[in-house]
Amino acid sequence: MSARSQQFDIAVIGAGIAGASVAAELSAAARVVLIEQESQPGYHTTGRSAAVYSPIYGPQPIRALTRASLGFFDNPPKGFTHHPLLSPIDAAFVARADQAASLEAMQAELADASTVRRIDGAELFRKLPLLRENYAVGAIWDSGTSEIDVAALHHGYLKQFKACGGTLLTNAPLAALTHKNASWQINTGTHALTVGTVVNAAGAWADEVGQMAGAERIGLIPKRRTALMIEAPQGFDLSEIPLVVDVDEEFYLKPDAGKLLISPANEDPEPPCDVQPDEMDIAICVDRIQRAFQVSVRRIENPWAGLRSFVADKCPVAGFSKQAEGFYWLAGQGGYGIQSAPALAQLAAAEVLGQKIPAHILAERLDPATIRPGRKGIGV
């Protein structure tokens, strides 16, 4: 059977949150095809997140993009979703005595964040009695954090994409990508496509897709993070428990649908794959959580793992390749790709369409040079 030939203006590779959001933004102005290797969009990292919106988490460019995404989360386009995309939850970044320097550093880094407050160990214990007494000497308490309805966000973008006439191809792994006569020829086995521009939103596979296109390597390293659910202990009001993150990211804990979601916050390098949770990650997680909280873990429920993909400076990579004409990078979102997706998609779509970066993103003090593919310190 010969592959079906079709022409589009733009092909987006990968239908996770990065690909779905930029495809939706582009589809109002261009003919867009969204290409996904799996049968289901969102099967990889997007479907495996902890669903947190934290404008104080991550490196500076991520925090800027996360703040710039708030308007979309609070006020998505009409018909995008019937559910609120964000539900507020407090967050506490807690520190033991040996982590006091990390707490100082975090406070200094967040000096201009209006939603954060430093609290001491006594106040922390009053607000968070689930913590073992005397475990922590203090915390950064944030009232600007929320939980994200990731499924509603992802489905909303896919719905918007289809409503604008976008074409989604699933079970369509990229088999070949060649540039000829100022256009890209894409082969997925079942489809032969000709497009003007390719957007690389392939998550953990982004460097592999870049190699197929003859683009520079960005030095992307996918890192496994494991999470699991446990029973909530008796005698605590779950609605009063914030998201609790170790200040050095040695663990986090979050109330989730009547249970507790916990993670050792690990970052273990892996090749791009359908990553699975590791027994050792789970054992380390349970140990750290039991040391910090009045929790005795009897049963592990539903452990999972996902790949958070980073370049060396942990900032995302968005911009046209310097080596491959008409090839746009949208990769390296690491552990922040859901909370920053709306602004990153708006920025990428504007650039792919030859427009200026939207003013509300620059107003959050995003320096575009900090996210470019050719920047110093990344790549190999």
Ligand X SMILES: Cc1cc2nc3c(=O)[nH]c(=O)nc-3n(C[C@H](O)[C@H](O)[C@H](O)COP(=O)(O)OP(=O)(O)OC[C@H]3O[C@@H](n4cnc5c(N)ncnc54)[C@H](O)[C@@H]3O)c2cc1C
The one-letter amino acid code at 17 reads: I
d(CA 86, CA 371) in angstroms, rounded, equals 26
Shortest distance, position 128 Cβ to ligand X, whole Å: 20
The residue among 66, 50, 47 whose CA lies nearest residue 58 is 66
Interface with ligand X (CB under 6 A) = 13-19, 35-38, 43-46, 48-52, 173-174, 201-205, 209, 225, 227, 306, 308, 333-339
Shortest distance, position 192 Cβ to ligand X, whole Å: 15
Residues whose CB falls within 8 Å of the CB of residue 287, separated by 6 or more in sequence, listed in order:
none
The one-letter amino acid code at 46 reads: T
| Number of neighbours of residue 279 by Cβ within 10 angstroms | 10
Nearer to ligand X, 118 or 217 (CB): 217
Shortest distance, position 50 Cβ to ligand X, whole Å: 4
Nearer to ligand X, 227 or 292 (CB): 227
Nearer to ligand X, 86 or 163 (CB): 86
- Written as six digits, the tokens of 78 are 């009409």
Nearer to ligand X, 14 or 373 (CB): 14
Shortest distance, position 107 Cβ to ligand X, whole Å: 22
Shortest distance, position 101 Cβ to ligand X, whole Å: 26
User: What single-letter DSSP state applies at residue 273?
Assistant: S
Q: What is the DSSP string of 251-293?
A: -EEEEETTEEEEE----EE--SS-----HHHHHHHHHHHHHHB
Residues whose CB falls within 8 Å of the CB of residue 83, separated by 6 or more in sequence, listed in order:
149, 152
Alpha carbon separation from 175 to 13, 37, 191 (Å, rounded): 12, 10, 10
Nearer to ligand X, 144 or 306 (CB): 306
Shortest distance, position 133 Cβ to ligand X, whole Å: 28
d(CA 309, CA 209) in angstroms, rounded, equals 14
Distance between first and last Cα of the chain: 40
Gyration radius of the chain over CA positions:
21
Calculate helix-pair angle for 17-27, 341-352, nearest 10 degrees: 50
Nearer to ligand X, 60 or 296 (CB): 60
Nearer to ligand X, 137 or 175 (CB): 175
Shortest distance, position 340 Cβ to ligand X, whole Å: 6
Shortest distance, position 341 Cβ to ligand X, whole Å: 7
The one-letter amino acid code at 181 reads: N
Nearer to ligand X, 97 or 280 (CB): 280
